Amino acid sequence: MKSLKPRLLTAVIGIPLILIFLFFAEMWTPLVSIVIGIVSAIMAYEYLSAVKLINKVGISIPCILFSFALSMLISTDYLYLLLFVFMLTVFSAMIFMHEKLTFSDISYALLGALLVSFGMSSLSYICASGIAITFYFVVAFALPWMADAGGFFIGAAFGSHKLCPKISPKKTVEGAIGGIVFCIVSSFLIGLIFQYLVMPTVTINFWALLLIGVIDAPLSILGDLSFSLIKRNLNIKDYGSIFPGHGGMLDRFDSIIFTVPVIIAVHQFMPFITLG
């Protein structure tokens, strides 16, 4: 439990900041895309810094700018143009800087920029309508974090069977089960709070929320393990040090990269909210 204190400190500072952000985002929707774009750009910076690609500006600047811009343009008619310009820029850099940039450099940078920006921009996409921004943010952030909390506490108390010892030695099967249970219970509680206290004039689809509760925890673990494996291969502990006890933006939001797109997928078939 040695890492509990910095985790709590991060929560004490982070939660009020998120609440302030949501207050203003509900009044001005573009703020969502701007903030998500900034966070995505920082995550891309951390990802590239892990292999010292940040100094190779021919690839680092396009990746960081793309990570920011995708959140801004994800729900506009300029999306295809952005993707085309980004790909053209990256492979032009590979050709004109072939003595400094290897194909491995390009592959690493391209995969990271696309993965980070795709996952994070999904949140901008689902909030673009300006309807229930706080609800979608709570679902997007609270469920993976509750899965992580469940895994942390249940794993620390009862964990005895390692889940992926060579990738993440502290993760256990018991912790993973605890994370799933925490996630399902949290999804139901979120639905109750928003249905009866926050948005009583709309209808919350509890079946959609429970489905997300079931899916989110395994995907959260998948995201965490995926980026942990990258860190292990690179022989680094964290991508950054912004959050005490958590590392950098990418360390904190790696699971969200995998879980937020699923919110969109479920929403297309089972809308979370019905107006009127």
Given a cut of 80, whether residue 9 has pLDDT beyond it is no
- Same domain for 150 and 208, yes or no, is yes
Shared domain for 120 and 34, answered yes or no, is yes
Report if residue 229 sits inside a domain. yes
> Which of 106-120, 122-136, 158-172, 182-196 has the least mean pLDDT?
158-172
Structural domain including 40 reads 30-129
Provide the domain count of the chain: 2
Taking the alpha carbons at both ends of the chain, their separation in whole angstroms is 47
Residue 246 has pLDDT above 80, yes or no: no
Residue 246 and residue 164 in one domain: yes
- Domain match, 197 and 240 both: yes
Of the candidate ranges 60-74, 176-190, 246-260, the one whose mean pLDDT is the lowest = 246-260
Residues 189 and 117 in one domain: no
Q: How confident is the model at residue 276 (pLDDT cuts 50, 70, 90)?
A: low
| Domain identity same for 167 and 264 | yes
Question: Which pLDDT does position 125 carry in this prediction?
Answer: 92
pLDDT tens per residue, range 65-108: 999 999 999 989 999 999 999 999 998 988 988 888 888 899 99
Is residue 226's pLDDT more than 80? yes
Last residue in a domain, options 129, 161, 182: 129
Q: Which of 210 and 231 is assigned the larger pLDDT?
A: 210
153 and 255 housed in the same domain: yes
Q: Are residues 151 and 118 in the same domain?
A: no
For 75, 153, 247, the CA distances from 231, given in Å and listed in that order, are 32, 23, 12
pLDDT tens-digit map of 27-42 = 898 999 999 999 999 9
- 150 and 119 in a single domain? The answer is no
Is the model's pLDDT at 1 over the cut of 60? no
Q: What is the mean pLDDT of residues 183-197?
A: 93
**Mean pLDDT (whole number) for 228-244:** 80
Look up the pTM and report it.
0.88
Candidate from 82-96, 108-122, 237-251 with smallest mean pLDDT: 237-251
135 within some domain: yes
Average pLDDT of every residue of the chain: 87
Are β-strands 273-274 and 203-204 bridged in parallel, bridged antiparallel, or unpaired? Answer: antiparallel
Residue 198 gets which letter from DSSP?
A: I
CA pair distance 199, 192, nearest whole angstrom = 10
- In the prediction, which pLDDT does 232 show? 85
Q: Which two tokens stand for residue 118?
A: 């795709």
In a domain? residue 24: no
The residue among 69, 99, 129 that closes a domain is: 129
Single out the residue of 78, 4, 8, 72 nearest to residue 38, CA to CA: 72
Listed residues 75, 106, 129: the one ending a domain:
129
Q: What is the pLDDT of residue 66?
A: 96
Comparison of pLDDT for 121 and 17, the residue scoring more: 121
What pLDDT band is residue 6 in, cutting at 50, 70 and 90? low
